[in-house]
Structures are given as C-alpha cells and as structure tokens.
C-alpha cells in the first residue's frame, strides 16, 4: 500500500481534511446546501472519509450503498452535480497548499 494515492497524498489526515473542506464549501454554497438540510453531517463526513480513503487505496472500510442508489432520492440535477464535482478538487489543492 506504500505506493497508493492514499499514502502519496498524506493518508488519513489529508483525506479527512479534504472531505471536511468539501462539506464546508457545500454548506456555504446556496445552490447546494439545501440538499444537506436534513443530513447528519458528522456521520456523512465520517462515511465519506472512509469512502474516499478506500478509493485512494487506504485501509478504510467502506460498506455503504452504491453511489447511484444512495443518491437516487435526493433530486440532484445536472447543475448541482456539476457544481459539487468541482469542490473536491478545490479542497484537495487547498489542503496540499496549491491554492483553491
């Protein structure tokens, strides 16, 4: 696992910082925050940290639903998806000291 993206970019602390930063941006975005009004953000952040950590080759365990199934009832339109897609990259660049 030493050559994984997870380790290359800082492991658990980096993943947690990126996920946390992502959800701060989401909550500050008037076009996206309404999708999260009834969501346990602490639980969601922990869940997403595990998901991203596992996806990057880390030791985290992800046992959640398929992404399409998990988001099917959220009413996410193409504009919201596009706006949401840009945030993780900005959070990663910010966390790695490369600007937002």
The encoded tokens of residue 82 equal 């596009």
Contact 69, 62 (CB under 8 A): no
**pLDDT per residue as tens digits for the range 45-100:** 999 999 999 999 999 988 888 877 877 887 777 777 676 655 555 555 555 555 44
**pLDDT per residue as tens digits for the range 30-40:** 888 888 899 99
- Fold (topology level) of 5-95: Globin-like (1.10.490)
**pLDDT per residue as tens digits for the range 15-52:** 999 899 889 988 988 888 888 899 999 999 999 999 99
Q: Exposure string (b/e) for 45-83, b if CB count within 10 Å is 16 or more?
A: bebbbbbbbbebebebeeeeeeeeeeeeeeeeeeebeee
Percent of the chain with pLDDT over 90: 38
pTM, entire model: 0.73
């Amino acid at each position: 696992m030493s050559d994984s993206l997870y380790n290359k970019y800082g492991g658990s602390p980096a993943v947690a910082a990126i996920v946390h930063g992502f959800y701060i941006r989401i909550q500050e975005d008037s076009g996206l925050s309404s999708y999260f009004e009834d969501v346990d953000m602490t639980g969601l952040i922990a869940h997403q940290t595990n998901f991203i950590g596992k996806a990057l080759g880390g030791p985290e365990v992800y046992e959640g639903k398929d992404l399409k199934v998990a988001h099917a009832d959220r009413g996410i339109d193409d504009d919201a998806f596009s706006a949401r897609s840009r945030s993780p990259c900005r959070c990663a660049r910010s966390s790695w000291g490369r600007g937002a």
